[in-house]
C-alpha cells in the first residue's frame, strides 16, 4: 500500500530523531510505497497545530544526504547505479520549513505526491519516547499527525518508540520490524469503529517476543504547573549570541525550537502579533520593563511517578512493563450524555 510517513521529531538526527529512517527502510523492505513529509525542526508538544501566519517551504531531500545533526547536503547526488531503479523525485523525502506534523499530513495528502497513487494510510512517527496517558496524547505532535489524517478522511496510526535513551542498532531494528508487522495486522483487521491507533513500543532487544496488548489511555492531569520557568532575558540573549543560534544551515535560516521566533517561525511579528522590545532599548528610553520572560523547562517528575504507578491495562503500564500497547481511538471530544436541552439560569 501507499503510506505517508510524517513525524514531529524532524529529519534523521542522532540525538532527537534517531528512529524515522529505520522505520521507513523497514516499511519499504516490506514492499510498501512510502512517501515522507517531515518538519525541518523538532515539533514536539505541538499537537495538531497549524502555523497560520507562516509560509511553508518544502525541500526535496535525498534520505542519504542527511547529516548526523539533521542538516543535509543540498549538493548530494545519488549514484544511479546503486538506486535499484528508485532514483529520481520519488526517492526524495520532503522536509518542510515551518512545518508541523499536521501540516505535513495535509501537504502530504493533498499537495506533494499528486503524481503517485492515492495514499492509503498515514503513519506518524516513530516518536522519540513514549506517548502514553491523556496529557501526552493530547499534546503530542506524533498523535496530532495521525489525528490530522482522520480529518482528511484517511486512517492514521501514531507510533512511538518508548525511550529517549540511546539505543543500539539491533534494538531499533527490532522495534521497526515489530512496528511494520503490527501496522500490517491492524490494516488487514481494521475495526470500523476505530479512527486511529496509538502504538507504544518498548525499546528492548527481545521486543518481538513480548506481548502486544490492546490498552486504554491512562487519565492524567497536571498536579502543578511544571512546563515553564522564568528567565533573565539579558542572560538568554547573551547565551544565544555566544552559541551562534542565528547561523544558517544549507542556506536556510536554522530553526531552533523557538529561538528567533515561535516554533521556528522567523519574523512573524513576535508572539501572537505583538512586537517585543529589547531590554536594552527600554533601558535607553528610561522606561521600566513590565515584561516577564519564560521558557520551556518541563519538570515531568510528577507525571513520571504517576506513569510508574499506572493501572494494569493502561497504555502507560503496558509499555513500562515491556509490552507493546495498542490504543484504539476516536478522533473527537465527545459530549457528556444526559446534558441536553434548555438551561434554566434561575436555578
Residue range 63-81, pLDDT digits in tens = 999 999 999 999 998 877 6
pLDDT in tens, 11-50: 999 999 999 999 999 999 999 999 999 999 999 999 999 9
Give the pLDDT confidence score for residue 90 in this predicted structure: 47
Q: Are residues 137 and 198 in contact, defined by beta-carbon separation less than 8 angstroms?
A: yes
Higher pLDDT, 259 or 116: 116
CA distances in angstroms from 304 to 33, 163, 278, listed in the order given: 38, 13, 37
Q: Are residues 10 and 42 in contact, defined by beta-carbon separation less than 8 angstroms?
A: yes
* Among the listed residues 241, 268, 321, the one whose alpha carbon sits nearest the alpha carbon of residue 97: 268
- Distance separating alpha carbons of residues 45 and 72, to the nearest angstrom: 24
Give the pLDDT confidence score for residue 283 in this predicted structure: 52
Q: Are residues 295 and 236 in contact, defined by beta-carbon separation less than 8 angstroms?
A: yes
- Only one residue has cell 491495562, namely 313
pLDDT in tens, 250-295: 444 444 443 333 333 444 434 444 444 555 555 555 566 689 999 9
pLDDT tops 70 at residue 318: yes
Domain boundaries, the chain: 2-221+308-329, 228-296
pLDDT in tens, 224-238: 777 888 888 777 676
What CATH number has the domain spanning 2-221+308-329? 3.40.1210.10
Give the pLDDT confidence score for residue 243 in this predicted structure: 75
**Which 3 state secondary structure label does DSSP give 105?**
helix
C-alpha cell read off for 320: 513500562
Give the pLDDT confidence score for residue 24 in this predicted structure: 98
Amino acid at each position: 500500500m501507499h503510506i505517508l510517513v510524517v513525524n514531529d521529531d524532524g529529519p534523521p538526527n542522532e540525538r532527537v530523531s534517531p528512529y524515522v529512517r529505520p522505520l521507513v527502510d523497514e516499511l519499504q523492505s516490506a514492499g510498501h510505497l512510502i512517501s515522507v513529509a517531515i518538519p525541518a525542526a523538532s515539533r514536539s508538544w505541538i499537537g495538531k497545530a497549524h502555523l497560520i501566519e507562516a509560509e511553508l517551504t518544502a525541500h526535496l531531500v535525498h534520505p542519504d544526504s542527511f547529516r548526523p545533526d539533521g542538516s543535509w547536503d543540498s549538493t548530494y547526488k545519488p549514484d544511479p547505479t546503486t538506486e535499484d531503479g528508485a532514483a529520481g523525485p520519488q526517492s526524495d523525502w520532503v522536509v518542510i520549513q515551518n512545518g508541523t506534523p499536521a501540516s505535513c499530513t495535509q501537504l502530504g495528502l493533498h499537495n506533494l505526491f499528486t503524481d503517485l497513487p492515492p495514499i492509503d494510510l498515514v503513519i506518524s512517527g516513530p516518536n522519540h519516547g513514549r506517548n502514553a496517558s491523556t496529557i501526552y496524547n493530547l499534546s503530542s505532535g506524533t498523535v496530532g499527525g495521525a489525528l490530522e489524517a482522520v480529518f482528511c478522511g484517511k486512517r492514521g496510526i501514531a507510533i512511538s518508540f518508548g525511550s529517549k535513551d540511546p539505543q543500539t542498532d539491533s534494538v531499533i531494528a527490532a522495534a521497526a520490524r515489530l512496528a511494520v508487522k503490527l501496522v500490517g495486522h491492524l490494516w488487514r483487521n481494521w475495526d470500523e469503529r476505530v479512527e486511529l491507533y496509538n502504538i507504544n513500543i518498548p525499546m528492548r532487544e527481545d521486543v518481538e517476543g513480548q506481548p502486544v496488548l490492546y490498552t486504554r489511555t491512562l487519565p492524567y492531569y497536571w498536579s502543578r504547573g511544571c512546563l515553564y520557568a522564568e528567565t533573565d532575558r539579558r542572560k538568554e540573549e547573551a547565551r544565544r549570541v555566544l552559541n551562534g543560534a542565528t547561523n544558517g544551515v544549507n542556506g536556510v535560516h536554522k530553526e531552533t525550537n523557538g529561538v528567533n521566533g515561535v516554533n521556528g517561525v522567523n519574523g512573524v511579528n513576535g508572539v501572537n502579533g505583538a512586537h517585543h522590545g529589547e531590554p536594552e532599548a527600554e533601558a535607553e528610553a528610561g522606561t521600566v520593563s513590565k515584561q516577564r520572560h519564560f521558557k520551556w523547562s518541563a519538570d515531568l517528575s510528577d507525571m513520571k511517578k504517576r506513569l510508574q504507578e499506572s493501572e494494569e491495562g493502561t497504555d502507560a503500564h503496558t509499555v513500562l512493563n515491556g509490552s507493546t500497547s495498542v490504543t484504539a481511538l476516536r478522533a473527537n471530544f465527545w459530549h457528556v450524555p444526559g446534558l441536553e436541552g434548555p438551561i434554566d439560569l434561575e436555578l
